Structure 1
Amino acid sequence: MSQQPDPPPPPSNSTDGWRVLSYLIGGLVLYAGIGWMLDRWLDTSFFLPAGIVLGAGLAVVLIYFRYRES
């Protein structure tokens, strides 16, 4: 019985970098915007920084699960 070689990895898509950048910017803008609206509505000053951190963190997690090796 001969072992078959592993299949070659899928070709790298040239748009992956732009997609990753859009995930990061989109996460920051979305959650920073939600934080900014909550700060305006509740007259506080901590939701915007929390939204920025949360948006960046969730974007990184999304990128990880999207591009991890199977």
Structure 2
Amino acid sequence: MQNGICPKCQAQEVYRMDGNRLYAQEVVSLKGGAISKGDAPHKYLCTNCGYLEYYLPLTEENLEMVKNNWVRVMPE
């Protein structure tokens, strides 16, 4: 979606809202704490089909926390 094309319907009707606001329902909890307001997710929405993606600007510390505490999804 970051390239302006929806991966679900291939439409070029993608809009972005930068992570300058963090709403309570958007807080992403990482083991050991939640992301800070400075790490608020960037949102991409396709106005053709409604598909929505979030991208977190993670710090090295947060990336290590995820790698050490989340379950990695292996390719099938």
What TM-score comes out, normalization by structure 1 length?
A: 0.22
Higher helix share: 1
- Normalized per residue, which structure has more strand? 2
TM-score (norm 2): 0.21
Greater Cα radius of gyration, structure 1 or 2: 1
